[in-house]
Structure 1
């Protein structure tokens, strides 16, 4: 028996704002969309065009508050081939929420405050 990674899910309060963020900030593109016939939910899968692993964004029509992320200790991590360039772009966009310069990593936060770890390619 062998298990393989498929996707991670983040629930979002504003799907269009989140799609714009993930495209602009990380270059993730929509690859699949599922919408309920009654409009109660939309699920969008994003990919990087390289790996099979996806980020699933779920929007729920009747959700009326921010998501409680607790201490936000869980996160998604992405490697980038131009760490300095990515850091500069994320700094200019104002989405860096935490840096650990000793480890050579940093985190950005999305519109719903999910944290995304950015790693150099050789990390």
Structure 2
């Protein structure tokens, strides 16, 4: 038996703000959308160019209160070729970003950016292909 990761679901309060973050901020593309107005929710799926994994944004209509991210959730992770330019761009877009960081004894190779609902995304310097 073989398992394959297919998506992670994030519940979002403002679908348009979340779509802007994931498409404009992180370069993901909407792959499909399922709307269920009779049940008061929409599902929007986003993926990168490879398309092997998706983020599912679940938008429940008329949600007033923010979702609680919880203390067990940590983050999603993505790679990028130009880490410094990416961080600067996210900062210019007004998203909360951390400083560039590295594991103890290592040079900086990642930072975190926070989406409109408080979910953290780790952006990691892509390793050159061998």
TM-score under structure 2 normalisation? 0.85
Q: Is the 8 A contact 2:15 2:59 kept in 1?
A: yes
Q: How does 1:82-121 map to 2 (within 5 A)?
A: 82-99=82-99, 101-103=101-103, 104=108, 105-121=110-126
The aligned counterpart of 1:69 is 69
Based on CA coordinates, which of the two structures has the bigger radius of gyration? 2
Matched, 1:32 2:32: yes
Greater fraction strand: 1
Aligned partners of 2:87 and 2:55: how far apart in 1? 21
Aligned partners of 2:51 and 2:57: how far apart in 1? 17
TM-score under structure 1 normalisation? 0.89
The aligned counterpart of 1:13 is 13
User: Structure 2 vs 1, CA of residues 8 and 31 (structure 1 numbering), >3 Å: closer, same or farther?
Assistant: same
Aligned partners of 1:99 and 1:84: how far apart in 2? 10
Greater shift, 48-57 or 65-74, is seen at 65-74
Q: Which 5+ residue runs of structure 1 have no aligned equivalent? A: none
Q: Which 5+ residue runs of structure 2 have no aligned equivalent? A: none
Aligned partners of 1:72 and 1:113: how far apart in 2? 13
Corresponding residue pairs, total:
123
Aligned partners of 2:16 and 2:88: how far apart in 1? 24
- CA drift of 1:69 comes to 1.0
Greater shift, 90-99 or 110-119, is seen at 90-99
